[in-house]
Amino acid sequence: MSSTELAPRVAVIGGGQLARMMAQPAVALGVPLRLLAEAEGVSAAQVIPDQQVGDYRDLATLRAITQGCSVVTFDHEHVPTEHLRALAADGVIAHPGPEALVHAQDKIVMREAMARLDAPQPRWAVVASEAEVEAFGLPCVLKVSRGGYDGKGVWMVRTLADAAEPLAAAAAAADRGVRLLAEELVDFRRELSALVARSPSGQAAAYPVVATLQVDGVCREVVAPAPDLDPAAAAAAQQLALRIAGELDVTGILAVELFEAVDAEGRTRILINELAMRPHNTGHWTQDGAVTSQFENHLRAALDLPLGSPEPRARWTVMVNILGGDDPDVGRLYDGYPHALARDPHLRVHLYGKELRPGRKVGHVNVYGDDLDDCLERARHAAAWFRGDLGNDSD
Amino acid sequence: MSSTELAPRVAVIGGGQLARMMAQPAVALGVPLRLLAEAEGVSAAQVIPDQQVGDYRDLATLRAITQGCSVVTFDHEHVPTEHLRALAADGVIAHPGPEALVHAQDKIVMREAMARLDAPQPRWAVVASEAEVEAFGLPCVLKVSRGGYDGKGVWMVRTLADAAEPLAAAAAAADRGVRLLAEELVDFRRELSALVARSPSGQAAAYPVVATLQVDGVCREVVAPAPDLDPAAAAAAQQLALRIAGELDVTGILAVELFEAVDAEGRTRILINELAMRPHNTGHWTQDGAVTSQFENHLRAALDLPLGSPEPRARWTVMVNILGGDDPDVGRLYDGYPHALARDPHLRVHLYGKELRPGRKVGHVNVYGDDLDDCLERARHAAAWFRGDLGNDSD
């Protein structure tokens, strides 16, 4: 960093909506961002002036984009860890660093680490054949260890015949280090998420545990805090996320996606589903519902600045994603504004600068207030309206 | 606007901190901005990718920057109104439009309009000689009709000798349409500000009336809402601002700066001091203290979208400006973060990407909560810390 610069520059790898939403607190903090975008005009490239288009799998590209930056952080978890080690040797530190990030890249490495930490998780095994799947027991869930997201690379397996496709997919990608993970099918009551921010100095902040509704592996709704969650279970989930962040030396945001199950004695059990090491869809509510948003705390953590309060600002905050629907004639999201904003002057809308396509996350709405049912109705109505899908909105 | 664009593009003239802070809600709304900056790297140019450097007094430059934009709005009030009429003839509508904006450009035009509206204001007159100043009566305030800001172009006149400088200044600028305005010196209790947003369709939203502390003509602190303000006076101030916005056809944010005085019978009187037609320093508290910030409502109004709620989110919100102090060795504002953020995890900081220079507005802090004294102490401490001036902080 040149001595004439006003603040350290942060390199952000990946031009999706998470990088876009980091740009807002960067404006307030006076911190310049430099973006490596995967293509011209992608979501974050629309709002960050200092940018370059390139391939995050290419070390020379990463070296060029991070030159003059103090730290590098991410919109996604796919940057090769060996490149991050090379950057560190150049003096550009990644947050999260490669030793932490590998746990968000590889689900088997993550399961092994959770086992070492004696953290509660579903029964699991690495499998490579029908016989091993059969030995693990059916029904089960099969997941490729690397590269899956939003429900892709995940199979529900009820019969051995169902295992053929995942076994073939993993075998085909074996040369890229992909293996197949079998997990117990958890009979969960609902899904939760415990989000924490952690700085390189070790300061950490835990957001309230939220309830998330996933449909086909894609996050649809978040309620903060999780309604009717046993306070002891909520505290345990926060402590678990803080412990994982500390033990794995995570820097920035860590999202621990959890299953909430009920054991034979009727007690709440929480089991780790996935880890994510970046601002997360289950934390978008913090933009309007918390003192400090996950995006601001991610940047503060990357810069080793003191973290902001994760306290909620309202009794309830509901986040509902806007997903592209099946109707190709909906038109522009922008054209949904006159109704949506007039109907609800308290509605908070966040659009990502993306065209509507079926199933694509193109934005979200946040609604906060004292009455959960009212918040849910307003947020669901607005999201359904934007996606042109009001008639089918029966969530 | 091309049919492939996701949303109408908004041209913003002027690259200061007000344009910079419009960029944050533009990200959320999915609305692209195009910036005309006065120089490379100015405050807003750091955060708006689609930009050009040029002179806002040049019509060809304005035509180029607004091409493909639906509307044009402003970081400042200095764009010549004849240029805005020429742009309108091209189909690019300015918000606020030239017929409204002239009232923020010319204090005599404003006084004449307020008189027509029978709006409460100090006694005033146009003066051009010592004799006319003497006839108006001393003491008084003299102001150049155009081009003054932040206390510049304003003189406190107690003796006729004090009038020489303002008379000469106005005479020297007469060829640019500058005249001299004499105003009664109001014995005010404090200054207030009534901020409203108004859309081209005529929808309007009034923020709570705030108290502002000005030092040497520069805003230092804002308390929202104004403490101990007579509710009838508060309602009258809001209604006055709404009436002015409607009568002058203001679009976007209108700030009506007011004197609060007490008449001989002990009743609160409010008198109009100044009008501003853009997001205003007395509205920065809305970024963290209101449901919808003034910057978002300014953009919504420019686009004729329904306005967001102006309701406060906390009992009290305090804004304190960070001004460059006299110590040249303070260093970077950024270096104030470790203490300021650790001391107060609820502190909201907004920096403008500017170097510290004596008296320059380089940022502000917002603090909200239930206890006004606590909010004041925390916000003042943080602002003083950033400006390297803790020992002198006796506000």
Tell me if residue A262 falls in helix, strand or coil.
strand
**If you count residue pairs, one on A and one on B, with CB atoms under 8 Å apart, how many are there?**
131
Mean pLDDT of chain A: 94
The band of A392, judged by pLDDT with boundaries at 50, 70 and 90, is very low
Beta bridge partners of B213: B221
Annotated binding site of B for ATP: 107, 143, 183-186, 191, 273-274
pLDDT value at A328 more than 70: no
Do residue A46 and residue B24 have CB atoms under 8 angstroms apart? no
Do residue A27 and residue B47 have CB atoms under 8 angstroms apart? yes
Q: Are A33 and A65 in contact (CB under 8 A)?
A: no
Q: Among B24, B27, B341, which would you mutate to test the A interface (most chain A Cβ atoms within 10 Å of its Cβ)?
A: B27
Which chain A residues contact residue B46 at CB under 8 A?
32, 49
- Give the C-alpha separation, A49 to B27, whole Å: 13
Cα–Cα nearest to B322, from B392, B394, B221: B221
Largest CA distance in chain A: 64
Do residue A346 and residue B32 have CB atoms under 8 angstroms apart? no
**Share of residues in chain A with pLDDT > 70 (%):** 96
Residue type at position B287: Q
- Give the C-alpha separation, B252 to B199, whole Å: 6
Which chain A residues contact residue B341 at CB under 8 A?
300, 305-308
Which chain B residues contact residue A8 at CB under 8 A?
334
Task: Kindly state the average pLDDT of the residues A251-280.
Answer: 94
Cα–Cα nearest to A344, from B298, B308, B196: B308
Which chain B residues contact residue A51 at CB under 8 A?
49
pLDDT per position as a tens digit, A68-81:
998 999 999 999 99
Q: Are B336 and B349 in contact (CB under 8 A)?
A: no
pLDDT per position as a tens digit, B95-115:
999 999 999 999 999 999 999
Distance (Å) from the alpha carbon of A374 to chain B's nearest alpha carbon = 17
- The set of residues, in sequence order, having a beta carbon less than 8 Å from that of B149 and lying 6+ positions away, is none
**Burial grade of A119 (CB within 10 A; 0-12, 13-18, 19 or more):** middle
Q: Domains along chain A?
A: 10-94 (3.40.50.20), 123-184 (3.30.1490.20), 190-390 (3.30.470.20)
Q: Out of B49, B332, B353, whose CB is closest to A48?
A: B49
Mean pLDDT of chain B: 94
* Helix segments in chain B, DSSP class H: 17-29, 59-66, 81-90, 98-105, 107-116, 130-136, 164-172, 231-247, 286-289, 294-302, 337-343, 372-386
Q: Are A317 and A367 in contact (CB under 8 A)?
A: yes
Looking at residue A149, what is its pLDDT? Answer: 66
For chain A, count helices (H), then strands (E).
12, 18
Q: Are A293 and A312 in contact (CB under 8 A)?
A: no
Looking at residue B1, what is its pLDDT? Answer: 37
User: How many CA atoms within 13 Å lie on the side-chain side of B162?
Assistant: 16
pLDDT value at B24 more than 90: yes
A254 token code pair: 């860590």
Strands B210-215 and B190-198 come out as antiparallel
Residue B305, number of CB atoms within 10 A of its CB? 23
Which chain B residues contact residue A21 at CB under 8 A?
27
- Give the C-alpha separation, A111 to A273, whole Å: 9
**Share of residues in chain B with pLDDT > 70 (%):** 96
The residue whose two tokens read 């669901």 is A380
Q: Are A165 and A122 in contact (CB under 8 A)?
A: no
Do residue A30 and residue B363 have CB atoms under 8 angstroms apart? yes
- The set of residues, in sequence order, having a beta carbon less than 8 Å from that of A7 and lying 6+ positions away, is A29, A30, A31, A32, B332, B333, B334, B351
Looking at residue B331, what is its pLDDT? Answer: 78
Q: Are A307 and A292 in contact (CB under 8 A)?
A: yes
Q: Are B298 and B286 in contact (CB under 8 A)?
A: no
What are the backbone dihedrals phi and psi of residue A130, each rounded to the nearest 5 degrees, phi first? -60, -40
pLDDT value at B392 more than 70: no
ipTM associated with this complex: 0.95
CA B221-B274-A345 angle, 5° bins: 70
- Give the C-alpha separation, A384 to A325, whole Å: 9
The residue whose two tokens read 């056809």 is B249
Looking at residue B3, what is its pLDDT? Answer: 43
B329 token code pair: 């060795």
Distances in Å between the Cα of B46 and the Cα atoms of A182, A326, B35, B41, B372 are: 48, 39, 11, 6, 34
